């Protein structure tokens, strides 16, 4: 359903890596042949050079970001949609709301999935888990802001799964600052929000998470998640880095 799901490495990635090498080989072979036969007409060399340039240009076009889905397509979806960007990979995709549940402490846990089955778990809008991204966040202990979604500060414990399946724990202490009201523009929609910034510090360093929270009560759909965070920038671990998350559906 997504126009450009978060990419995963596979055969297509391998082919993209091979095609540039093939194009470069053609050009180098042409150069070598021309040097061996300097009196030869340049037509073959020129043609191969042009072919190599065309291959490079086509690869560049293929790697460019696909066009975003239009409002009509987004509105056709039966569930809320978020846009997720992995900043350090320059990859963008979409995730769809799967289900929500209430945990033992009154938090609302929502699971979102991409078309290629990457999962993002949130508790009252705060990222508490990833699945299928590599070096996944297994869990995150977050304090709830009362009332409404977003962070409350206090202790924060992340648990990540390393490639050898060992658990790595990261402990931090977090403080929240109210950055004031912001009229947030997300594509063709405008939302009244309040910007909260969370600074978390620990032995491993500092993490800064940002949340743009709905200033007005949301829909019934939003209430099932503990409220709406229209946009956020949240740390997902040392390997994944920061995720920029925008809620692009109307509710």
Q: What is the pLDDT of residue 8?
A: 37
Cα–Cα distances in angstroms (integers) from residue 41 to residues 25, 27, 45, 46, 50, in the given order: 20, 16, 8, 9, 15
- Give tens-digit pLDDT for 78-93: 889 999 999 998 899 9
Instruction: State the helix-helix crossing angle for 43-63 and 11-36, rounded to 10 degrees.
Output: 160
pLDDT digits (tens, 9 = 90+) for 168-181: 999 999 999 999 99
Work out the burial of residue 113: count CB atoms within 10 Å of its CB; fewer than 13 is exposed, 13-18 middle, 19 or more buried. middle
Tell which phi-psi region holds residue 167, choosing left (phi > 0), alpha (psi between -120 and 50) or beta: beta
Helices (H), ranges, 37-106: 43-63, 71-76
The per-residue pLDDT for 66 is 55
Confidence of residue 104 (pLDDT cuts 50, 70, 90): confident
Domain residue spans of the chain: 11-63, 71-247
Most confidently predicted of 24-33, 202-211, 216-225 = 202-211
pLDDT band, residue 47 (cuts 50/70/90): low
pLDDT for the residue numbered 204 = 87
More confident residue, 59 or 160: 160
Secondary structure (3-state) at 199: strand
Q: What is the pLDDT of residue 201?
A: 97
* Spatial distance between the Cα atoms of 112 and 123, rounded to a whole number of angstroms: 11
Determine the CATH number of domain 71-247. Answer: 2.40.360.10
Taking a C-beta distance cutoff of 8 angstroms, is the pair 213, 125 a contact? yes
Res. 62: pLDDT tops 70 = no
Per-residue pLDDT, averaged over 2-28, amounts to: 36
Question: By three-state DSSP, how is residue 88 classified?
Answer: helix
Least confident of 8-17, 91-100, 194-203, 240-249: 8-17
pLDDT number for residue 31? 42
Q: How confident is the model at residue 218 (pLDDT cuts 50, 70, 90)?
A: low
**Cα distances (angstroms) measured from residue 238 to each of 47, 64, 126, 131, 208:** 46, 26, 17, 15, 13
* 8 A C-beta contact, residue 49 and residue 30: yes
Tell the residue number behind the tokens 């009154």, with chain if given: 106
Q: What is the tens place of the pLDDT at every residue in 106-156?
A: 889 999 999 999 999 999 999 999 999 989 999 999 988 876 899 999 999
Q: What is the mean pLDDT of the chain?
A: 78
196 and 179 in contact (C-beta within 8 Å)? yes
Mean pLDDT, residues 46-63 = 57
Q: Which residues touch 242 (CB under 8 Å, ≥6 apart)?
A: 87, 88, 233, 234, 235, 236
**Nearest Cα residue to 199 out of 181, 170, 172:** 172
Closest CA to 112 of 91, 92, 126, 98: 98
């Amino acid at each position: 359903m997504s126009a450009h799901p978060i990419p995963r490495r596979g055969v297509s990635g391998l082919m993209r890596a091979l095609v540039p090498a093939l194009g470069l080989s053609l050009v180098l072979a042409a150069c070598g042949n021309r040097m061996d036969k300097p009196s030869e007409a340049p037509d073959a060399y020129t043609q191969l050079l042009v072919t190599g340039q065309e291959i490079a240009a086509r690869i560049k076009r293929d790697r460019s970001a696909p066009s975003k889905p239009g409002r009509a397509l987004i509105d056709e979806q039966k569930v809320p949609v978020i846009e997720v960007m992995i900043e350090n990979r320059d990859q963008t995709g979409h995730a769809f709301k799967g289900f929500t549940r209430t945990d033992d402490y009154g938090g609302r846990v929502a699971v979102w999935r991409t078309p290629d089955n990457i999962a993002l778990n949130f508790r009252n809008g705060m990222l508490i888990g990833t699945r299928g991204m590599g070096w996944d966040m297994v869990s995150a202990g977050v304090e709830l802001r009362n009332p409404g979604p977003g962070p409350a500060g206090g202790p924060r414990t992340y648990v990540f799964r390393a490639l050898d399946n060992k658990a790595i724990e990261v402990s931090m202490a977090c403080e929240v600052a109210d950055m004031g009201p912001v009229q947030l523009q997300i594509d063709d929609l405008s939302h009244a929000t309040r910007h909260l910034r969370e600074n978390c510090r620990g032995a491993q360093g500092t993490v800064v998470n940002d949340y743009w929270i709905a200033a007005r009560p949301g829909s019934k759909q939003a209430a099932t998640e503990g409220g709406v965070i229209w946009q956020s920038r949240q740390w997902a671990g040392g390997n994944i880095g920061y995720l920029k998350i925008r809620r692009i559906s109307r509710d």
